[in-house]
Structure 1
Amino acid sequence: MNEEGPVEEGHGRDTAVRGPRTPAVRDNLRHQWEKDRARAPRDERAETGATERDTGLDTDDLVFHARYREITASEDLAAAFGVPEGTLLLERVYRTGRAGAQVPLSLVTSYLVRDMVASNPDLLDEAKEPWPGGTQNQLYTVGIEVDRVEERVTARPPTPGEARELDLPAGVSVLLLRKTYRDVHDRVVNVSDVTMPADRTELLFVTRLERW
């Protein structure tokens, strides 16, 4: 689950005003967990989501906003998807925060190739969010099975806008996650950019080795 537009309140205000900060642990096992749920009945998918899994919060503890718009692929996004510059994309901006806190957990922007998902008009409608089962179920509705998820993490100082929206203390960096979904035909079917506050985000990677 995920707030529309930037939070405009001043940077550095007391957390008693903004509400509690919520730590999150992102591990790579979440992707199989999401895929396992992608074909589950709607009621089962609606019970919880990846944010609840990462934070330990319940769905009722969270406030979610989504904003969609159509854009043309920049050089960076065209290269990421392997499509020509100018290809029509669906940009989806997500903000999820803890109820009572004005600071979102992270800043998420997700991209889909519009023609790849347009056969299901619901996927073009922000009013259908939050979508039970998330992106993997959305792709499943148009016949796309995710084969693997590639994640690249970097870090840098925040921009002034990011520092305001995430209410970052001075000196705290942001973690940048570029997440790429590839389907069983090796096509890039989703690209997401996630900006996370480094002072309350933990990245956990578990590598399972097959037994001899």
Structure 2
Amino acid sequence: MRSRHHDIADDLRQQIALGGIQPSERLPSEADLATRYRVSTVTLRRALAILQGEGLVEKIHGKGNFVRRPHRKILYVGGWGTLDPLTAAEPELRVTIRSTTIRAQAHLMTLLKVPTGSPIVETTCVSHEGESPHGLARIYMPRDLLPAGVLDDDSTCRDAFKRFAVLGPPPVTLRETVCARPPTPDEASALRIGYASVVLSITRIATDSTDRVVEATLLAFPGDRVDAVFTTHHGPDKRQDPG
């Protein structure tokens, strides 16, 4: 038998889709909604949790539940390892940046192929449109490979951070592993999404001509806020007879 909170979520979802409840509009209080649907507040909150997980409703502490505005999507360009320059340059999109030096442990040793305890610079970047986060990047580089200006708020480095781009010289190889999965607790908090949401996860490894890993980046985008484009360039078929 279908649960009552699913029926309530369906009804509210339909009202939002048909414009009965407008973007940025505050929903009636949870107590009022529970009375309207003749259910307990526990059941009502389960219904709202479904809509919050879908990104349709946002709960703001102390203010209530609000219908989200449709998110403008940003574009990630695979192979170049960057947000689309036009997208990243739009004035509505801003990026907060925080850098710190840590010691390589566990997964960072594997990603960067460095010994335990090696000094690593971790830079966390979160892109926002208004108050809505659009993407999260955690960029890791061996401390000795750090380009000048990264820790000094250099404008060139800030431009690279805004595009989630590779920081150092163009790498010889850029390997990107892409998957869709639920967010980690840290990602859900930083991106303000529910645990039932789906994120596009990209692990990007950049290597130089000696096959040394010069940068490892962990990217996470809410699935409804990004498109990823990968273009393959085919060279001439060497199997063909040149004559």
Do the aligned partners of residues 210 and 52 (structure 1) sit closer, same or farther apart at CA in structure 2, a change above 3 Å counting? closer
- 8 Å CA contact retained: 1:26, 1:54: no
Which residue in 2 is equivalent to 1:39?
A: none
Q: Aligned match of 2:160 in 89, 109, 134?
A: 134
- Give the structure-1-normalised TM-score: 0.69
Which residue in 2 is equivalent to 1:186?
A: 211
Alignment of 1:112-151 (within 5 A): 112-117=141-146, 120=148, 122-125=149-152, 127-128=153-154, 131=157, 134=160, 138-140=167-169, 145-151=170-176
5+ residue gaps, structure 2, are 1-58, 238-243
Q: Aligned match of 2:119 in 80, 84, 88?
A: 88
Which residue in 1 is equivalent to 2:76?
A: 26
Residue 163 of structure 2 corresponds to residue 154 of structure 1: no
Measured in 2, the distance between the counterparts of 1:12 and 1:131 equals 38
- 8 Å CA contact retained: 2:77, 2:83: no
Q: Which has the higher contact order (CA 8 A, sep 6+)?
A: 1
Query: Match of 1:60, SS?
Result: coil
In the comparison of the two structures, how many residue pairs are matched? Answer: 174
Query: Match of 2:231, SS?
Result: coil
Measured in 2, the distance between the counterparts of 1:132 and 1:71 equals 21
Q: Aligned match of 2:68 in 15, 21, 31?
A: 15
Structure 2 letter corresponding to 1:24: I
- 8 Å CA contact retained: 1:73, 1:85: yes
- 8 Å CA contact retained: 2:183, 2:198: yes
- 8 Å CA contact retained: 1:97, 1:103: yes
Larger Rg: 2
Query: Match of 2:83, SS?
Result: helix
Structure 2 letter corresponding to 1:63: R
Do the aligned partners of residues 25 and 51 (structure 1) sit closer, same or farther apart at CA in structure 2, a change above 3 Å counting? closer
What is the CA deviation profile of residues 139-185 of structure 1, one whole-angstrom value per residue up to 9, with x for unaligned ones? 23xxxx41111111123222345334324367421122111111122
- In angstroms, what is the RMSD of aligned CA positions? 2.9
- Give the structure-2-normalised TM-score: 0.61
Runs of 4+ aligned residues of structure 1 deviating over 6 Å after TM superposition are none
Structure 1 letter corresponding to 2:233: R
5+ residue gaps, structure 1, are 1-7, 32-49
Which residue in 1 is equivalent to 2:55?
A: none
Q: Aligned match of 2:85 in 53, 77, 82?
A: 53
- 8 Å CA contact retained: 1:64, 1:130: no
Residue 232 of structure 2 corresponds to residue 210 of structure 1: no
What is the CA deviation profile of residues 83-132 of structure 1, one whole-angstrom value per residue up to 9, with x for unaligned ones? 1011110000111212xx212211111011002227x3x2233x335726
Percent identity between matched residues is: 24
